[in-house]
Structure 1
Amino acid sequence: MALPGVQAEPQAEAATAGPALALEFALDPEAAARLPRHPAIAASRGGRSRGAAANLIWLDTADGALAVAGLAIEESQRGQRQVLRVMPAPDQPWVPGTPPALLETAPPPAGHVVPIAAFSGRRAAMRLATPEGPVQAVLLAGKLRAVADERPVARLLLQGEPGAVLGLAGRLAADLPLLPPHAALAEEGRALARGEAPRPRRRGPPDLAGAATVELALLAAIGHLLEVMLVQAPACRLGAGPEGVHQMRVGLRRLRSVLKVFRPAAGGPALQHFDAGLKALADRLGPARDWDVFLGGLGAQLAEAMPGERRIASLLKAAEARRQAAYVALRAALDGPAFRTLVLEGLGLLLRRPWRAAQPDAPEEAERLARLDEKLPDFAAALLDKRWHKLCAEGEDIETHSAEALHEVRLEAKRLRYPTELFAPLWPGKATRRFQRRLAALQEALGLANDTAVARSLVASLGGAVPAWAVGAAEGFATARSGAARSQALEAWAELMDAGPSWEGG
């Protein structure tokens, strides 16, 4: 696998260093111009880079049949054509940064093909001797063109032993905006031609139906959710609406849940460090999402109930200022080196599998390692049983629960909901869908009560910045909402108990 139009050169030295790895990264044109002078590159170069013009054309049938199948025909400046898979199959494991795969036995398209988009620019190849081993670096920089639009693009391909590739990528990402691209160049060209956003390679929860073992499921889930985070990160900015932050936060929560779910089989310092980085990012996402929910919920209700009331307008203005500040802080975090390092840590988990580095002669470690090869349905059913019983115990006599006790029920419902969603493809059918709907209804009803508590806290945090009357009015609205939320939660609990678990053994 390689960048479009790029044949990565073989490295004799790498043959003894370990399996070859190719990873593709996107960076902005200004950073691409600085790349050859970066200390990590300059100190490792084994000679002058070799540059050449690079011109590519991507083709499809008039009705876009190849794009629908996740494919594209790429034509080099010499007229040679090849078929690329630009959208990975949904049931296949995915490692972010994997270049498009060349299909050697692809069927010919049914119908005449026409140009969709093109790239023109320069290709520069560099042989690097990094501290971890040799790396072949290929930089592609130029313009992506369609009939009605064009924009600058740059891609960097790194090929070598995984430790060498990840080590070099980490040093570059410390200073440069270097991340795996969330779309192949051919897909970006198609989207540019159509005036739309590139299709995400992964979205929503991972589908683990095809994962035979616990370890394969863990790898599939991490790769899927890392890609989701990469897709959503650019949308977490002011002016883009609340959906990007919401989906980014959901994806991050799913990923943290995956790490907890599979902890009995895969643990260790690397996973703990990665989870700590995810938590730090969650702490940045939280304020932006909380203010979005407040302004779109309780804040909107206040404005509708009391139009023209200056004290309410003052409260909402102060809340909007806090929301904007939270977004600015979040954007700075996502544009900074910590997020890039976090993504590379995730790639390291996928490529190195550090949970396999334990000492197998220790009885507890031998048992844990054996669980990696356990059949996924057996592992999933045992875990879901355990969490279901915890939820039932926490919700016993729920009618008498205080607000604090209901909050604990909400947390247990959330701890069950994410793995239930994760493992749902193992038990497809109406019973599973019904259980998921009722569990989601319970969590949402309990979440409404929690949102009310958060809203009170947010309003209180505004302090003297808003009139006390407006604070009191907001708290009154919040209190009224909490009563309705409690009734909904009790009803949702009863319906969930009637449904019962849907997995085998539950």
Structure 2
Amino acid sequence: MPAGHAGSARARTAEADGEPRAEAAEAEARAAEPEAALSLEFVLPPEAAARFGRQAAVSRWRVGRARSLPGDRIWFDTPEGTLAAQGLIVEAPARGPRRLLRIRPEAAGPWHPGQPASVLRELAADAVPEEAEGGGLAAIAAFAGREHAYRLAPPEGAVEARLLTGEIRSVAAQRPAARLTLSGAPAAVLAVARALAADLPMLPPTANLAEEGRALAAGAPARPFRQGAPDTSAATTAEEAFRHAIGHLLEVVRQCTARIAPEATPEPVHQARVALRRLRSVFRVFRRATDCAALRALDGRLREVLAVLGPARDWDVFLGGIAADVAAAFPGDRRIEALLRAAAKEREAAYAAVERMLEGAAWRMLLLDALEVLLLRPWREGAEEARREVLDAPATDFGREILDRRWTRLRRAGEDFASLTAEELHELRLDGKRLRYAAELFAPLFGPKAGRRFLRRLAALQDGLGLANDAAVARGLVARLARQGDAGRAWAVGVVEGWSVARVAADRGAAREAWDRLLRRDRFWSSD
């Protein structure tokens, strides 16, 4: 039986068997035009999109026939790219009026992975939006393809699925593309997405279709939705700051992990780890207001991701740092060269483990579960009045309290800096990192320039203490490369270990200078 008739066939079978018609009626009711409380967009390979209609979830929940519609559209901008510079573009679809789209979110607005481009307003056929600043419009790119619309009725509610397949085209290039948009009640959309992602390699896109068209025409990479530390400046309550930060950082994690490859620079792995650490720091900062089983479980899974990324980053730092310095000091030494080849193989193995993780269904489920936590706010379930008061408290007041506490802890840990042991310096570095993540999180609440100097000085301390940590990690890495009975390898390992020890001694002075400068700076969050 064709999959396209699965929903109606179930209804007919129920009637033929004399069963109550309630089940079929319930499915039809769930499949009524869904209220688009949430729309999530996903990118998937064209070959995977071809399997969409045969997915078990689609066959099980589909009601009625799928509709095939023209999916063609053309994108317009001024020759100077005036609209794109503002994160906008004009789209002319095959059906319906032209419209002005926002293809990149505003910096301080709420965001989460999978948000489709937003329609700002419809335009007359030849209208030029005022945002074009007097410039004329010209076609810059187009999409040619079909859109297939499905009505799905999972138990959580009605969902509309729209699958767009075809090609993005510009004057000089073209490439295949496939996008899936799910719309409906949040719980229903997430349930369908989870069922599909168990088999299909679908992920939130790193750029929407119009931005990819613009980038293809420009011969440049698509611009990321989000990067760096979160901008919480638009948040008024503690909960808003929490949600803005989570949505931003989930997007940064998605952006960075999409660029990870053995042949790429070390930066994507590094920035993915930074974003994950920032995200886990946000969980800890807001724990007394948001602690719940779902967030604790998510935090544990993020820790597992960091454990996979860690070796790749460690080998990147070693090969680009101490190993490169040693190789420069001993040019042409075969023992050093052999050690570095062995290290490069370890790096390849570490990157292979990262790639396996990112290609698996568990990674897709993690992103969806994180989105569910953000969108459904499980920390609100059964929250007592005291917790609700914290969630609704002014974000600036909440931030001041956190920053005061972490600043006090850092100052106490470094009171007798000159006599700190290596272990105590390591703990000081961790305390500094906790304060830095919190300061990055709350600084936008105190003004666009607030905290810049404080953060620079805190970063300098982190760098000084981090070099010592890198040296300690390097010693552990090369110890793993030692081989029984290989005198040349033992000599090379010894050289690297000695180099690392000498580096720690040299770097301690820089860390002390950074510490002294940090203590001289007033706290940006305090009027004292």
TM-score by length of 2: 0.90
- SS across alignment from 1:103: strand
Aligned counterpart in structure 2 of residue 64 of structure 1, from 54, 72, 81: 81
CA offset digits 1:237-266 (Å, max 9, x no partner):
111111111111111111111111111211
Match of 1:481 among 503, 514, 518: 503
1:401 to 401, 420, 430: 420
Q: Write the distance in 1 (CA, Å) between the matches of 2:413 and 2:122.
A: 56
1:438 alignment counterpart: 457
Work out the CA distance in 1 between the residues paired with 2:422 and 2:156: 55
Write out aligned runs for 1:443-454 (5 A). 443-454=462-473
Distance 1:431 1:213, change over 3 A: closer
Q: Write the mapping of 1:49-448 to structure 2, written as runs, cut at 5 A.
A: 49-77=66-94, 80-104=97-121, 107-108=129-130, 109=132, 110-360=134-384, 366-428=385-447, 432-448=451-467
Q: Does the 8 Å CA contact 1:141/1:154 hold for their aligned counterparts?
A: yes
The answer (yes or no) to whether the contact 1:315–1:470 under 8 Å persists in 2 is yes
Q: Is the Cα–Cα contact under 8 Å of residues 63 and 152 in structure 2 kept in the other structure?
A: yes
Query: How many angstroms apart in 2 are the aligned matches of 1:35 and 1:189?
Result: 24
Does the 8 Å contact 1:14/1:20 carry over to 2?
A: no
SS at match of 2:481: helix
Separation in 1 of the partners of 2:380 and 2:428?
35
Shift of 1:121: 1.1
Deviations 1:312-364 (A, max 9, x none): 0011000000001111110111111121111111211221011100243xxxx
**In 1, Cα distance between equivalents of 2:332 and 2:215:** 44
2:205 is paired with a residue whose SS is coil
Q: CA deviation at 1:428?
A: 3.6
3-state SS of 1:22 partner:
strand
Deviation >6 Å, runs of 4+:
14-19
Determine the C-alpha separation between the residues in 2 that align with 1:156 and 1:45. Answer: 16
Q: Deviations over 1:362-412 (max 9, x none)?
A: xxxx21221000001110011111111111111121111111111111111
Relative to structure 1, the CA distance from residue 200 to residue 431 in structure 2 (aligned partners, 3 Å threshold; closer, same or farther) is: closer
User: Aligned residue for 2:482?
Assistant: 463
Change (3 A) 1:55 1:297: same
User: How far apart are 1:497 and its partner, in Å?
Assistant: 1.3
Give the superposition deviation at 1:43: 1.1
| Range with bigger deviation, 129-138 or 189-198 | 129-138
Distance 1:244 1:313 in 2: 26
The aligned counterpart of 1:363 is none
1:415-455 CA-to-partner distances (Å, cap 9, x unmatched) read 11100111111234777222111111111111110000000
Equivalent position of 2:64 in the other structure? 47
Tell whether the 8 Å contact from 2:99 to 2:122 is kept in structure 1 after alignment.
Answer: no
Give the secondary-structure state (helix, strand or coil) at the position aligned to 2:111.
Answer: coil
Measure the CA separation in 2 of the matches of 1:206 and 1:359: 26
Mapped contact 2:443–2:450 kept (Cα < 8 A): no
SS of the equivalent of 2:318 reads helix
1:78 Cα deviation from its structure 2 partner: 5.2
* Cα distance in 2 between the residues matched to 1:416 and 1:15: 50
Counterpart-to-counterpart distance in 2, 1:447 and 1:173: 39
Contact 1:14 1:160 in 2 (8 A): no
Q: Deviations over 1:92-112 (max 9, x none)?
A: 101221111111277343222
Structure 1 Cα separation of the partners of residues 36 and 431 of structure 2: 43
Q: What SS does structure 1 have at the residue aligned with 2:451?
A: helix
Q: Distance in 2 between matches of 1:324 and 1:460?
A: 18
One-letter identity of the residue aligned with 1:395: G
> For 1:48 and 1:457, how far apart are their aligned partners in 2?
61
The code of the aligned residue for 2:421 comes to S
Q: Does structure 2 conserve the Cα–Cα contact (< 8 Å) formed by 1:55 and 1:121?
A: yes
What TM-score do you get using the length of structure 1 for normalisation?
A: 0.94
Could you list the per-position Cα deviations for residues 249-300 of structure 1 after superposition, in whole angstroms to 9, with x for gaps in the alignment? 1111111111111112111011111111111111111111110000000010
Distance of 1:105 and 1:441 partners within structure 2: 50
Q: Post-superposition shift, 1:230?
A: 1.2
Write the letter of the residue equivalent to 1:36. G
Tell me, in whole angstroms, the C-alpha distance in 2 between the residues paired with 1:505 and 1:355.
Answer: 33
Q: Give the conservation status (yes or no) of the 8 Å contact 2:269–2:309.
A: yes
1:439-487 deviations in Å (ceiling 9; x for gaps): 1111111111000000000011112187100000000110110001111
The more displaced of 232-241 and 306-315 is 232-241
Tell me the SS of whatever aligns to 1:503.
Answer: coil
| CA distance in 2: counterparts of 1:85 and 1:145, whole angstroms | 20
Q: Quick check: 229-238 or 471-480, which moved more?
A: 229-238
1:494 aligned partner: 516
Aligned residue in 1 for 2:24: none
Which residue number in structure 2 is paired with residue 503 of structure 1? 525
Question: Counterparts of 2:176 and 2:255 in 1: how far apart (Å)?
Answer: 19
Q: Is the 8 A contact 1:424 1:432 kept in 2?
A: yes
Contact persistence 2:32–2:158 (CA under 8 A): no
CA separation of 1:101 and 1:16: change in aligned 2, threshold 3 A = closer
SS in 2 for 1:499: coil
* 1:8 alignment counterpart: none
Letter of the structure 1 residue corresponding to residue 138 of structure 2: V
Q: Which amino acid aligns with 1:149?
A: A
Partner residue in 1 for 2:52: 35
Q: What is the aligned-residue RMSD (CA, Å)?
A: 1.8
Secondary structure of the 1:265 match is helix
In structure 2, relative to structure 1, the CA distance for the partners of 1:382 and 1:14 (3 Å cut) is farther
